[in-house]
Amino acid sequence: MLHFVLFFIFAAICLGGAINLLAQKHPISSALSLIVVMGSLAVEYLLLGAEFVAIVQVIIYAGAIMVLFVFVIMLLNAGIEEHTRGSRVALILGFPGMLALGLLISWVLVRNPEPTVPVGAEYGPANAIGRLLFHEFILPFEVTSVLILIAIMGAVVLASPMHPRFPEPEPEQRELVAAGESRSDS
């Protein structure tokens, strides 16, 4: 019973953080709200018996990825976001799509209330997951790290101000260069 109550408390915190993420005008405040969402999801994973996924959620997502997000936001010097009314396509297709998805999930939960696989049975212990990650799946793991590094370098290049490689000479320098060229020609 306590797990049930805690699950819904942290689900409410997660939903509140997600709504706050969308409602904020400043990107840093949105990033901090996303950290709250990631933290509450980690507690949800703990309550479901997936300790490894909870630890990965905190270390990778709430830690490293969010530091990367905040770094890029500060690097790009993003200001306060201007809110618009939104697109008509999102309004026309979004609400019926959300309603249909909600009805589908409700229908599936009502038809099959008992889980067919016990919670935590598919993941296995953390050492087995680590062995899989660093032996069989080492290539996708390293490709992902290289892609993140390329994304950071791209953000730095995009955020850096455009400076010409060779600046235009001052008018006095142009005259000296022109005078030097005319002497070397004769």
Q: What's the pLDDT tens digit per position in 7-51?
A: 999 999 999 999 998 888 888 888 889 899 999 999 999 988 888
CA angle 168, 153, 70 (to 5 degrees): 110
What pLDDT does residue 78 have?
Answer: 66
Identify the CATH class of 1-81: mainly alpha
Residue 164, pLDDT above cutoff 70: no
Whether the predicted model's global pTM rises above the 0.75 cut: no
Choice among 1-10, 59-68, 69-78, 113-122 with the minimum mean pLDDT? 113-122
Burial class (CB in 10 A: 0-12, 13-18, 19+), 24: middle
CA distances from 20 to 28, 180, 181 (A): 12, 65, 65
**pLDDT above 70 as % of the chain:** 76
Q: Residue 180: how many CA atoms within 13 Å on its side-chain side?
A: 6
Q: Which residues contact 42 (CB under 8 A, 6 or more apart)?
A: 54, 55, 57, 58, 62
What pLDDT does residue 104 have?
Answer: 93
Mean pLDDT, the chain, integer: 80
Contact status, residue 75 vs residue 159, Cβ threshold 8 Å: yes
Domain spans, the chain = 1-81, 124-157
Token pair, residue 186, equals 């004769």
122-137 residue pLDDT tens: 666 777 777 887 888 8
What pLDDT does residue 44 have?
Answer: 92
Residue 166, pLDDT above cutoff 90: no
Residue 85, pLDDT above cutoff 80: no
> Per-residue confidence at 83, pLDDT binned at 50, 70, 90?
low
**pLDDT above 90 as % of the chain:** 17
